[in-house]
């Protein structure tokens, strides 16, 4: 993991997560009303749109919702060739969503620092803009320039393009192979995103990234993809770099 960051596979409702940022697997045709209707802004495929959290999410401490519209499998119905088209787009969607989350968390940290508060920000502490890039280089000693401690940041990530809108539909065209490929792409994108920040030393945060799925089969697929990714990194034990847990 990058700089002590943790990746978890979580069985549960992403709308119940207590994190800094929730990434919403938005759909250009139908949005999940996971936050009393906050999900409702049309966003181009592979791009990320950001909104302040409202309703139940805000009550639980979530600061922002990042809307990420992934590719649609049926847009490329060409058997095996479909995977070569869709999987890279899923990775790109996840990468851009995580980068958007990183920007807004950094902006929030900047506001907290200016107000002299170390704890969670109140409603009046939200930055005026979420587009400002306030990245800070991290030194080898784990401190940001000026001796600031590296901060914790958390984000919940769904199975983008993984059939989460059609888990319980008997007519779903998103079958097991596509569901597994999507979750593998999400895991790979997360691991690469963290690795790049570790190598470049460009993040001031220690990340807790939660891969959330409400469907038991989807959770199992996430866990399998996670195990494969850890093995590829040479990790001997899943407990050394991450965990699999279930919501109570």
Give the number of C-alpha atoms closer than 13 A to the C-alpha of residue 198, restricted to the C-beta side. 14
30 pLDDT more than 90: no
What are residue 106's phi and psi, to 5 degrees? -65, -40
Q: pLDDT tier at 27 (50, 70, 90 boundaries)?
A: low
For residue 67, what is the enclosing H or E element?
Answer: strand 64-69
> What is d(CA 17, CA 136) in angstroms, rounded to the nearest whole number?
27
Residues near 158 by Cβ (< 8 Å), separated by ≥ 6? 14, 23, 24, 25, 164, 212, 213
Least confident of 16-20, 132-136, 181-185: 132-136
> What is d(CA 52, CA 58) in angstroms, rounded to the nearest whole number?
8
Are the beta carbons of 66 and 49 closer than 8 angstroms?
Answer: yes
Q: pLDDT tier at 11 (50, 70, 90 boundaries)?
A: very high
How confident is the prediction for the chain on average, in pLDDT?
A: 69
43 vs 63 pLDDT, higher one: 63
224 pLDDT more than 80: yes
β-sheet bridge partners, residue 10:
212, 245
pTM of the model: 0.71
Stretch 39-47: mean pLDDT:
42
Query: 151 by DSSP, 3-state: which?
Result: strand
Burial 116-132 (b: 16+ CB within 10 A, else e): eeeeebeeeebbeebee
pLDDT tens readout for residues 71-115: 888 776 666 778 888 999 999 999 999 998 998 888 776 655 544
pLDDT value of residue 115:
45
Domains and CATH numbers, the chain: 2-246 (3.40.220.10)
pLDDT value of residue 206:
86
Are the beta carbons of 63 and 73 closer than 8 angstroms?
Answer: no
Stretch 124-151: mean pLDDT:
37
In DSSP notation, 19-60 reads: SSEEEEEE-SS----TTTT-------TT-EEEEE--HHHHHT
177 vs 240 pLDDT, higher one: 177
221 pLDDT more than 90: yes
pLDDT value of residue 166:
59
Stretch 217-237: mean pLDDT:
81
pLDDT above 70: percentage of residues in the chain: 54
């Amino acid at each position: 993991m990058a700089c002590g960051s943790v990746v978890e596979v979580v069985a549960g409702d992403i709308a119940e997560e207590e994190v800094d940022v929730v990434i919403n697997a938005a759909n250009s045709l139908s949005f999940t009303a996971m936050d009393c209707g906050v999900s409702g802004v049309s966003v181009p495929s592979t791009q990320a749109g950001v909104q302040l959290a409202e309703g139940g999410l805000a009550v639980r401490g979530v600061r922002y919702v990042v809307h990420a519209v992934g590719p649609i499998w049926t847009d490329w119905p060409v058997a095996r060739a479909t995977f070569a088209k869709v999987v890279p787009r899923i990775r790109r969607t996840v990468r851009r969503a995580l980068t958007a989350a990183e920007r807004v968390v950094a902006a929030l940290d900047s506001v907290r620092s200016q107000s002299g508060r170390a704890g969670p920000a109140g409603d009046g502490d939200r930055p005026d803009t979420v587009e400002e890039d306030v990245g800070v280089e991290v030194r080898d000693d784990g401190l940001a320039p000026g001796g600031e401690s590296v901060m914790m940041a958390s984000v919940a990530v769904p199975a983008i393009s993984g059939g989460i809108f059609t888990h319980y539909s008997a007519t779903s065209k998103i079958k097991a192979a596509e569901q597994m490929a999507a979750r593998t792409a999400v895991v790979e994108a997360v691991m690469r995103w963290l690795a790049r920040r570790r190598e470049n030393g460009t993040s001031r945060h220690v990340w807790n990234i939660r891969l959330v799925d409400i469907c038991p089969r989807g959770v199992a697929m996430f866990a399998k993809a996670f195990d494969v990714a850890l093995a590829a990194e040479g990790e001997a034990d899943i407990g050394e770099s991450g965990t699999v847990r279930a919501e109570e």
